[in-house]
Amino acid sequence: MVNKKGSSGSGIAAGVFVLVIIIILFLYGPYLLNSLGLSPVPTATSLNHTVAVGVLSVNAPAKVSPSSTFGTTFLVANNLNGKDASNIYFCLDNLGLFTILSSIVRKGNNPNGNAITSGRCVSIPSLATGDILSEGFTLSAPPANTYGNIQYSQNIGYYLNFSYVSTASQQLEFVSQSASTSGNYPPPTTQPSGVTAGPVDISSSSSQPVVYGQDIQLGISLNNVGTGVPVGNTQITISMNSSIINITAANDLGFSVKSFPNGTAVFSKSMTIGPTGASIELPISLSASEDSKLSSLNIPYIQADMQFTVSYSYEQEGYFPVGLYIEPYST
């Protein structure tokens, strides 16, 4: 007869042993990696909704010998839920006593992806959504006498500078006085939909629905939700059906306007996004023809869509530690 109680006890003991091993690895894993010559990556990127282009992993030695040559490779990726990236520069910084010798030869669809510029940057012309690219550098460690043959470790920095686009859609709802009183209209969409992944997030604030005869102020916020900072000017483009709605006094707000035969109007403006973001107030008016429908016809509501495109440059940083072995003293 099988001793079920003894078997169950052995299973519990084995489970506790595995749990203890997991806890040890969690607490002391980084020290074990260092002892094996591997470097933990404290700032590798997870491509969540707030990231456009990021570094998925860094392959670098935790310690190197004095005067040695070693390589570092990086997996640079573009978020699958974002847009194509362009004008990408991947650069090393904060080198300390280390020096860059060359970039690592890489085969891929970007023929200029390995061209070193300014001594410490690799140029990547473009990266489509979901693409992952391996880039790297060959570095040289200093001789022991440079750092006094003592314990020395350098947090070598890296940064990404790239051009990106974020998009979103906003639906506005205008209702007649009678529909507003009766509540006979669908729930309005108060926040943009289809917001793409990236460090610049598009949100809005408005009082909806807009009752016939009232004005609407649509607040658009460009929020920096990433770990880096926007660089330079940002171009915001808003497209809509001008036969239904329009931005009141668009020229006074600094917008240039381009109209198309199909009724679409595109409003563009250059602005600056600060470290935390930027905002703009848009006075929206219903066209005269649509406005009359709400008063003269039995139409409870009119819905109109706006599309936002925000083009910007962005820079974000990371680092990885590299230590130096101590040479034995000669006797």
Query: What pLDDT digit, counting tens, does each position of 85-129 carry?
Result: 999 999 998 999 999 887 654 444 444 444 444 457 888 889 999
What average pLDDT does the structure give for the chain?
81
CA distance 238 to 254: 13
The total of other beta-carbon atoms located within 10 Å of residue 18's CB is 10
Percent of the chain with pLDDT over 90: 53
- Among the listed residues 312, 281, 90, the one whose alpha carbon sits nearest the alpha carbon of residue 198: 312
Percent of the chain with pLDDT over 70: 80
Q: Which two tokens stand for residue 143?
A: 């001789």
Asked whether the beta carbons of 112 and 150 are under 8 A apart, the reply is: no
DSSP string, 191-253: S-BSPPSSSEEEEEE---SEETT--EEEEEEEEE-SSSEEEEEEEEEEEEETTTEEETTTTTT
User: Sorting pLDDT into bands at 50, 70 and 90, what band is 216?
Assistant: confident
Q: What pTM, to 2 d.p., does this model score?
A: 0.78
CA-atom Rg of the chain in angstroms: 29
pLDDT one-digit tens code per residue, 251-308: 999 999 999 999 999 999 999 998 889 999 999 989 988 988 888 778 899 999 999 9
More confident: 29 or 78:
78
* 212 alpha-carbon distance from chain centroid: 40
Element containing residue 30 per DSSP (H, E): helix 4-35
Note the pLDDT of residue 207: 82
Note the pLDDT of residue 181: 84
- Among the listed residues 44, 54, 42, 41, the one whose alpha carbon sits nearest the alpha carbon of residue 199: 54
Segment 57-85 shows an average pLDDT of 93
Write down all domains in the chain, each with its CATH number in brackets: 41-164+315-324 (2.60.40.1170), 165-314 (2.60.40)
Note the pLDDT of residue 245: 93
At residue 36, does pLDDT exceed 70? no
pLDDT one-digit tens code per residue, 126-153: 999 999 998 889 999 999 888 888 888 9
266-278: burial string, b at 16+ Cβ within 10 Å, e else: bbbeeeebeeeeb
Amino acid at 160: L
Q: Where are the beta strands (DSSP E) in the chain?
A: 53-59, 63-64, 69-78, 85-93, 99-103, 116-117, 121-127, 132-140, 152-175, 200-205, 210-211, 216-224, 229-241, 245-247, 256-259, 264-272, 277-286, 301-324
pLDDT one-digit tens code per residue, 155-195: 999 999 999 999 999 999 999 888 888 888 888 888 899 99
At residue 59, does pLDDT exceed 80? yes
